[in-house]
């Protein structure tokens, strides 16, 4: 089965090709083909996972692609526990979302519907290709392709100018970060002489690469991860990316693409580990993002924006985990987060589909009108807030334990505050959207069709049970399956009880707070609305405006200058040469009078001059 | 000797002839100027016969040849001018500008 693992990315690629070139106008065939193939990929991924569980180890297959000088670039797969888990997660979530999309996008025209499925297939191919990659070149190819698919899917409704602008923004910001990533790849390839992950690992273990180089490379690679996973300061594209359809937000910007950054750091963890302080940087960037994004999410009124900031925050948690040496914790949180965040986005899509509006203050009382959606949304919220026995509790616990035991107290405190804010804003969403009375008078919300409820149900089930695979009752199975060993980095354990008590209390406090303010409306937080701090946080700390003024305006000024230079100087030079030629021509033209006498005058004068020269 | 005087006279005639060719607008006048140039050359030949070799009369014979050819050339030139006049209704050389830009 592992030998055929190349089919896992290969099948969606075939689906993409068939849908793009053959079944453009046949919406049903396109969608069923895509869903069917994704089912196939999912089953294959389960098979691969099963084999890797039975016979743990790292399996590598590669084919040479091309050679240049002493460099050989290959295309290959590296199947190990980390990769196998990701394969299952990606295929499963993608499958659920493709099924859901049939219901969500039912009003689209045939060509657009097929276009959607072809892009999703292409995206899944790229993501899976990224996951199985065994060398930097292949992973970079997958990396850029997912960026492209993100652009295509965010701008799916391309006639909406806001969607087109958001797609452009996402692509440009991630591309900018990828420049750093590329430089990192080139550096490591230069010093290590190879692009292959395992070969580089071996070189590091033999001590052939100095820590200085490795830490530089690690930071550069982390730059790429920062862009893709929308860490501060590359975070501004993710909230805008909510212009895409909800299933797209669920798939790309919650479960998979943004997790690619975390996956990259995990894949190249040896480099980070051997670099001097690279992991601390990762940890603090993650921790800061977690807190920062949670604070903004607190005040947003658009249901998808809140979830977007929540995603930013949770990604920060994953980076925090990786930064403090919690390799297992970070990857575990990635897995559980994929499930409950996709679920939350799909449920939000269900609400938007019913209400035709993203604003939570338009909704209200949906708990009675849409019981299934409300149930799964609450399950997702409980999971993300870290309430046991839901999935999020186990993974968040592990992260906070790792942070506490590693001794980085500021990161631990950031994590705990973030957990409080997470619980608060998620339940704010719950109470405002599903509790109380319907606020928008002319809306007719109704429950979503089964094709949308079914995937949400599956994801809800996973949000409940997925955490148990790393629980004490299963002997911390996940931790034994996906882990990282090195001389100076061991997963820190210890302080379980105190962390558990603390995190349970903050989660409870968060839910209680949200209930008091938005559920029972006992406390009113209106007093903070005029305050400067509220205004700042509500406006995303003005980061978009800062970037606009500091980066975009000067850049546009530079482009204006370049345009002027190109038009006046370069074109001017070329046009000038042409006009000089034409001018000379206009003057010399007058020599040709057509009169023989004129020509004879010229001949005579020449003769006389020659005579003079000859005589003197 | 008197030879130099005749040669100078010939040169003067020649220059007047060249001046006429270069400046005149009337085609017939240009032909006359060409005649003048040829006749100046004839003058030179005759002067040379008289002062250098009076026995063999080489220059005189040459002159006869030149006059004959002159006559033929004038005939052809006048024929062209006549034909041109029929088309252009003018004998000014500046009016022959159909091929000009």
pLDDT of residue A491: 52
For testing contact with chain B, the best of A585, A591, A595 (most B CBs within 10 A): A595
**CA atoms in the 13 A half-sphere facing the CB of A613:** 6
pLDDT of residue B44: 94
Q: Which of B22, B97, B100 sits opposite A597 (nearest CB)?
A: B22
For testing contact with chain A, the best of B16, B21, B24, B88 (most A CBs within 10 A): B21
Beta-carbon contacts of A27 under 8 Å, excluding residues fewer than 6 positions away, are: A108, A110, A113, A114
Displacement of CA A287 from its chain's centroid (Å): 18
Query: Per-residue pLDDT averaged across A54-64, rounded?
Result: 82
Query: Per-residue pLDDT averaged across A33-39, rounded?
Result: 90
Assigned token pair, A101: 């999309």
From the list A76, A49, A50, A77, the residue with the least C-alpha distance to A63 is: A76
Selected residue with higher pLDDT from A406 and A126? A126
- Test A600 with B22 for CB contact under 8 angstroms: yes
**CA atoms in the 13 A half-sphere facing the CB of A271:** 30
What residue spans of A435-552 are helical by DSSP H? 450-465, 477-481, 496-514, 532-538, 543-547
List strand residue ranges (DSSP E) for B1-101, in order. none
H or E element in which residue A609 lies: helix A596-615
- Test B18 with A604 for CB contact under 8 angstroms: yes
pLDDT of residue A608: 92
**Is 60 exceeded by the pLDDT of residue A490?**
no
Give the model confidence (pLDDT) of A326-368 as tens digits.
888 888 889 899 998 999 999 998 888 888 878 888 777 787 8
Closest Cα in chain A, distance from residue B88 (Å): 16
What average pLDDT does the structure give for chain A? 85
- Test B96 with A589 for CB contact under 8 angstroms: no
Closest Cα in chain A, distance from residue B97 (Å): 6
From the list A515, A251, A237, A246, the residue with the least C-alpha distance to A355 is: A246
For testing contact with chain A, the best of B14, B18, B22 (most A CBs within 10 A): B22
Q: Which residue has the tokens 């399996």?
A: A59
Chain B 54-93, CB below 8 Å of chain A: which residues?
A: 93
End-to-end Cα spacing for chain A: 103
Q: In sequence order, what are the beta bridge partners of A64?
A: A74
Lowest mean pLDDT among A97-111, A183-197, A281-295: A97-111
> What CA–CA distance (Å, rounded) separates A393 from A322?
18
pLDDT of residue A193: 82
Asked if residues A474 and A468 have their Cβ atoms less than 8 Å apart, the reply is yes
| Chain A residues within 8 A of B30 when measuring between CB atoms | 597
pLDDT of residue A123: 92
In chain B, whose CA is at the least distance from the CA of A590?
Answer: B101
Backbone phi, psi, residue A193, to 5°: 80, 5
- Test A596 with B93 for CB contact under 8 angstroms: yes
Give the CA-trace dihedral at B24, B25, B29, B30, to 10 degrees. 70
**Is 60 exceeded by the pLDDT of residue A492?**
no
pLDDT of residue B67: 96
B100 in reach of chain A (CB within 8 A) = yes
Closest Cα in chain B, distance from residue A608 (Å): 12
Rg (CA), chain A: 30
pLDDT of residue A524: 72
pLDDT of residue A486: 59
Beta-carbon contacts of B57 under 8 Å, excluding residues fewer than 6 positions away, are: B49
Give the CA-trace dihedral at B8, B10, B12, B13, to 10 degrees. 170
Backbone phi, psi, residue A301, to 5°: -110, -5
Asked if residues B11 and A585 have their Cβ atoms less than 8 Å apart, the reply is no
- Test B100 with A589 for CB contact under 8 angstroms: no
In chain B, whose CA is at the least distance from the CA of A598?
Answer: B22
> What CA–CA distance (Å, rounded) separates A392 from A343?
13
pLDDT of residue A258: 77
pTM recorded for the entire structure? 0.80
Range from A387-396, A397-406, B33-42 that averages highest in pLDDT? B33-42
pLDDT of residue A473: 67
In this prediction, residue A537 has a pLDDT band, given cuts at 50, 70 and 90, of confident
The rounded percent of chain A whose pLDDT value lies above 90 is: 15
What ipTM is given for this predicted complex? 0.84
> What CA–CA distance (Å, rounded) separates A418 from A319?
14
Assigned token pair, A306: 């809140």
Closest Cα in chain B, distance from residue A600 (Å): 7
Closest Cα in chain A, distance from residue B56 (Å): 33
Backbone phi, psi, residue A593, to 5°: -85, -20
- Test A592 with B21 for CB contact under 8 angstroms: no
Asked if residues A171 and A236 have their Cβ atoms less than 8 Å apart, the reply is no
Asked if residues A350 and A448 have their Cβ atoms less than 8 Å apart, the reply is yes
Closest Cα in chain B, distance from residue A577 (Å): 24
């Amino acid at each position: 089965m592992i030998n055929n693992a190349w089919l896992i990315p290969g099948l969606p690629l075939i689906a993409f090709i068939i849908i793009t070139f053959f079944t453009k106008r046949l919406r049903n065939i396109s969608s069923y083909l895509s869903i069917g193939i994704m089912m196939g990929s999912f089953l294959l991924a389960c098979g691969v996972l099963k084999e890797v569980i039975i016979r743990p180890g790292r399996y590598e297959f590669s084919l040479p692609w091309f050679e240049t000088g002493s460099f050989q670039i290959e295309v290959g797969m590296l199947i190990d526990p980390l990769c196998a888990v990701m394969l299952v997660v990606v295929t499963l979530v993608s499958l659920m979302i493709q099924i859901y999309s049939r219901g969500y996008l039912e009003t689209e025209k045939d060509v657009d519907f097929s276009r959607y499925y072809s892009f999703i297939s292409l995206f899944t191919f790229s993501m899976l290709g990224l996951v199985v990659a065994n060398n930097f070149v292949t992973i970079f190819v997958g990396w850029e392709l997912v960026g492209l698919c993100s652009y295509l899917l965010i701008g799916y409704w391309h006639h909406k100018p806001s969607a087109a602008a958001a797609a452009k923004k996402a692509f440009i910001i991630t591309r900018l970060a990828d420049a750093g990533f590329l430089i990192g790849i080139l550096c490591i390839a230069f010093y290590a002489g190879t692009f292959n992950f395992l070969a580089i690992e071996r070189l590091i273990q033999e001590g052939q690469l100095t820590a200085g180089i490795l830490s530089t490379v690690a930071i550069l690679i982390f730059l790429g991860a920062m862009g893709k996973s929308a860490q501060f300061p590359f975070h501004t594209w993710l909230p805008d990316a909510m212009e895409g359809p909800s299933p797209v937000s669920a798939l790309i910007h919650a479960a998979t693409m943004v997790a690619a950054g975390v996956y990259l750091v995990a894949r190249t963890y040896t480099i980070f580990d051997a670099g001097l302080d690279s992991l601390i940087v990762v940890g603090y960037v993650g921790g800061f993002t977690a807190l920062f994004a949670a604070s903004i999410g607190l005040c947003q009124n658009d249901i998808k924006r809140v979830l977007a900031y929540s995603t930013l925050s949770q990604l920060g948690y994953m980076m925090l985990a990786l930064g403090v040496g919690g390799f297992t914790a970070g990857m575990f949180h990635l897995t559980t987060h994929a499930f409950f965040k996709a679920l939350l986005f799909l449920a939000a899509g269900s609400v938007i589909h019913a209400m035709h509006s993203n604003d939570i203050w338009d909704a209200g009382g949906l708990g009675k009108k849409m019981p299934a959606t409300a149930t799964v949304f609450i399950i997702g919220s409980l999971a993300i807030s870290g309430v046991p026995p839901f999935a999020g509790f186990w993974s968040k616990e592990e992260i906070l334990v790792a942070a506490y035991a590693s001794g980085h107290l500021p990161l631990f405190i950031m994590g705990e505050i973030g957990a409080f804010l997470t619980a608060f804003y998620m339940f704010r969403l719950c109470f405002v959207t599903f509790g109380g009375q319907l606020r928008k008078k002319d809306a007719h919300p109704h429950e979503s069709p089964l094709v949308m409820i079914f995937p949400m149900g599956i994801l809800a089930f996973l949000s409940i049970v997925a955490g148990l695979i790393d629980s004490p009752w299963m002997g911390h199975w996940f931790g034994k399956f996906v882990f990282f060993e090195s001389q100076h980095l061991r997963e820190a354990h210890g302080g379980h009880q105190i962390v558990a008590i603390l995190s349970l209390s903050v989660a409870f406090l968060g839910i209680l707070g949200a209930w008091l303010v938005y559920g029972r409306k006992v406390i009113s937080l209106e007093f903070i609305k005029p305050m400067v701090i509220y205004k700042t946080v509500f406006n995303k700390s003005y980061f978009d405006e800062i970037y606009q003024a500091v980066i975009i305006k000067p850049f546009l000024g530079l482009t204006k200058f370049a345009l002027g230079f190109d038009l006046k100087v370069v074109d001017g030079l070329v046009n000038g040469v042409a006009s000089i030629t034409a001018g000379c021509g206009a003057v010399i033209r007058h020599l040709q009078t057509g009169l023989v006498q004129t020509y004879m005058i010229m001949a005579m004068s020449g003769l006389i001059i020659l005579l003079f020269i000859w005589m003197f | 000797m008197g030879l130099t005087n005749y040669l100078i006279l010939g040169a003067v005639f020649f220059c007047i002839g060249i001046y006429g060719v270069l400046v005149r607008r009337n085609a017939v006048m240009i032909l006359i100027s060409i005649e003048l140039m040829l006749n100046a050359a004839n003058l030179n030949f005759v002067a040379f016969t008289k002062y250098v070799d009076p026995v063999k009369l080489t220059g005189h014979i040459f002159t006869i040849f030149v006059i004959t050819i002159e006559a033929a050339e004038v005939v052809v030139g006048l024929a062209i001018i006549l034909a041109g006049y029929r088309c252009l209704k003018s004998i000014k050389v500046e009016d022959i500008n159909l091929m000009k830009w």
